[in-house]
A and B are shown apart, each in its own frame.
Chain A
């Protein structure tokens, strides 16, 4: 059950999620409580960069004002300086020079402000992202295994990549530009209002008309983008399926059918992609020409007003009003675009915060595992690794500490468990592993073997019953200490980017090079490692892609060996590695198991036959138990399975 689920989660996540920056005309994702999300993101920014953020705001205001005064200057240039000089025999350029110097100063301030803003934004943006990234990762590491088993790994990854990326876009571009546009609009609007209230109303009406038309086109475009996305998903799914199975297609000469289906999906995608893009492409020209239309309308109405000297409206005022009107539509377009990409980023933020709001693993344990030595029959705690361990109990009532030797006795008492409350996977499991015993779990896929091991190290917590470890309820043991006492070799070997040495040392960070090599030797891994190009310093990449399956397993065994845990959980690999390597792996495992309490999910007869106890699981229940001889004598399920095999061999 758990195995299956794990396999599924390796598949990539949703592919319907829009990637990259928001494009014009793309449908906006639905976001719940956008305001709250926005505040939460800003709280990250504000927590560390309050002063910088304030400075950025001031910079934006300064650069906008510098820009607006420049626009204003065009009017004063013509009305106040040039026009009076026209026709003068000896025009005095002094006042104009002075005015221009002032403008130069304003511009200089604007440029300086823009540069300061850009530099500040780099720090704010990258700094915030770094903190968010670190926080997501730290939180993720604390999440229970259940989270990773129930969420597609592709989706979790996508939070780190796509969602953080859209956030970068939002903080570095959308938000400053949004403010910039908003301030520009407000200041232009203020200027327009001082020039003429009726004309401003006309101008605003045209803006409203423009927005209305944009919304109409965007709606159509959005609908088609959804269709395009859906068709793209279908085609991608088909491609993924047939190309992955292309060799089978060829073996069955199925190319023609495959082409037919592909053409059909390809055509549908083409139609919707065309429509979506066509509508999106229209938005630009519509906006631009509406701006021009607005210019004409304002010129006409303004002309009427000016020529009739309505409320003191002058020709010069009209000229500058027209300039403002022209500069008005751009920031409005900008704002609607930035708004879209902010919403897009909020959808990403929603996923980020969903991860951050996941409940982390809880740990109420207080019993600790310590290294110890025995002096005069007394257990004494030591700092260094002695190979001997003890449980350290702290008694709150009396404020005293007692020690109990770690032996490796594991008991399940009437344990019932289900991954979901409505589906029980294990029923009333009772088992007792004496220190040093080897317990083999056998049974078909889904019988609950892996689940039992998941419960011992508390990857999952039991719903009913008790698990005792050296007679201590495992809930009372601190999780890190519990897990440190259990060595695990999983069926799928996972390795990390780094050298072979680092990968083995993962089991015990304090291990010296000599100890690592000794562990590798114990695991039978030393031989092949020395044959690698750089021996123990060989870099492993991509989950050890440059190693064979068998070699990876040997490294995992060495990793467990260097941790030197009192109790072992082994999941034997079923994958067919060749007979010789398998023998080496087997020997490595056997050496590791000797002297430790071991739970092994067994696939090899040799392992099972050598076990002290064999538990035969079926549908979450232990149906038979005993050692090999006892079970054979019982002539039950085990006998049936075992002899079925033997029959087949001798038939």
Chain B
């Protein structure tokens, strides 16, 4: 994991090295200053030498200025390095996601990919900056302050050493306990918040059943529990700061007491005593800082892991060595195809599929949810690879084609389709960037999208909002079909793509297909029998197997499943289309 991430430091190696270096210089300046301060008091003020004060004062200013310079450089370098690494991480992930196959995407789920690209990167960026600036600074402060103290007085410095050990041990123990406690509390806290979330989205149910008081009572019990758990956890932490104070005060008192003896006996000066007292704070503060860095790094570890996973993921689909660039015709042949989303685990989704579809045929596909209709068609444009058997398109195994060439000639309108923010024309041109406006109009006519587009105030220049929220479901589907048509594909696949389009329009679209693109092979998945009954042949899927493959008339007599679905739809259970008329 670490290797994958450090590889992304890239051009920011230099600043990444310079930052801790600057921090070290800054710390040195910072450590010199107490010595100079001590001298000003000892030799200048107590010695009554104005000249010495001026001289040392100027020296101190120079050191402070150098410290400032190193501090600023360190800060700027750290910002450069951490922002840069964040950029590289995002890019590495995004670039790799572009090579992902559908099964790679399924494995991560889109929402988790979004989190990894956003929140997780921000976490790592902050941790990296902290690491560069503090991970060197704190131990350096600790070491230098400790050495300085030892130089001034080894005997007194050993008091610090003792304090550091005690503090380190106790803080580690407490931190471990407290973080464990808090992890538990926050889990419960998340539960509380998700129950609020539940309430907000189900508010109509709550109000319809007059359950407001009931919900308030439930919430109050949960909030009371959270209160008790937080109190317990925080009470554990309440001791930390007073304990720190105890250690600091003890150090000050011990140093003062023994320091007094040493001064009186002449082995220490008052200025040195004051420097020692300053180092006391430095040492203990840097120790606190170290424990904080530790906590922060453990917190970002999970994020780092999640990012590395994305970068390391290898696409499960690869282009062949000498790819075929042209799909000769629109024929499709399945030879004993088995398919599983996670090969080796559980039953395959598709079993023993053998089919032969001629170029230019229109094929309907029907079957219940989970009968693997989508899985079947997704194999054709090689969105997934078959687990066993062979799938030929235009006479060649799909794995022999260049993937981009194959997908350009096998056009899929996905089930959960999306439009992107941009004008309607922009969206259509995803199918063919060179398409003229006339081309776009033509495909929109075929997809029956022209009527509503032309009614919009800006016509084809209408801006589609993110997620296509400003067009209705049926309109969205028609635009998606038009977009797919622009590719002029050899094979067109519609995966339940007219479910929100009313039946009359649906029929019109199919009629346009038959008249205008007769040579294109068409695979149409639908819930409605009406959408597929005019097809040349219909595949009936049942639990991953092809249960029947024939014409509508023949299926009515031969396939029980088909007949059952047909009867339920022309009979009492049919959809009323009133809803979909625009």
Contacts and interface: CB of A to CB of B under 8 A. Distances in A.
Nearest to A483: B210
A605 B408 contact: no
Interface string A489-510: 0100011110000000011010
Interface in A205-258: 232, 235-237, 239-255, 258
Contact of B44 (A157, A235, A303): A303
A125 B256 CA distance: 38
B8 interface: no
Interface stretch (A370-378, A406-414, A440-448): A440-448
B118 interface: yes
B207 A583 contact: no
Nearest to B26: A285
Closest 4 CB pairs of A and B: A285-B71, A281-B75, A494-B202, A118-B238
Nearest to A74: B277
Interface string A119-132: 10111011101100
A236 B580 CA distance: 34
25 contacts: A78-B273, A118-B242, A134-B223, A137-B223, A241-B421, A242-B420, A244-B467, A245-B418, A248-B418, A252-B487, A255-B98, A282-B71, A293-B61, A300-B53, A302-B45, A303-B45, A323-B274, A444-B579, A488-B208, A494-B204, A506-B205, A579-B564, A603-B575, A605-B574, A648-B506
Contact of B78 (A254, A267, A277, A306): A277
Interface of B is mostly: helix
Interface in B24-40: 26, 30, 33, 37, 40
A433 interface: no
Given A258-B98, A277-B83, A604 B573 contact: yes
A518 interface: no
B527 A576 contact: yes
Interface in A97-127: 100, 103-104, 107, 110-112, 114-115, 118-119, 121-123, 125-127
Given A115-B239, A582-B573, A278 B79 contact: yes
B94 interface: yes
Contacts of B370: 578
A464 to B, nearest CB: 24
Interface in A60-94: 63, 70, 73-74, 77-78, 81-83, 85-86, 88, 91, 93
A574 B527 CA distance: 12
Contacts of A63: 245
Nearest to A147: B203
A529 to B, nearest CB: 19
A580 interface: yes
Interface in A613-638: 616
A579 B277 CA distance: 82
Interface residues of A, number: 162
Contacts of A88: 264
A318 interface: yes
A299 B197 contact: no
Interface stretch (B188-196, B391-399, B549-557): B188-196
B36 to A, nearest CB: 9
A235 B79 CA distance: 19
A106 B327 CA distance: 89
Contact of A241 (B467, B575, B577): B467
A368 to B, nearest CB: 12
Nearest to A132: B223
A295 B37 contact: yes
A647 B506 CA distance: 12
Nearest to B256: A77
Interface stretch (A48-56, A268-276, A339-347, A591-599): A268-276
B14 interface: no
Interface in B179-221: 193-212, 214-216, 219-220
A49 B483 CA distance: 65
Contacts of A270: 83-84, 86-87
Contact of B581 (A259, A444, A609, A647): A444
A63 B277 CA distance: 19
B76 A74 contact: no
Given A281-B76, A303-B45, A574-B579, A130 B223 contact: yes
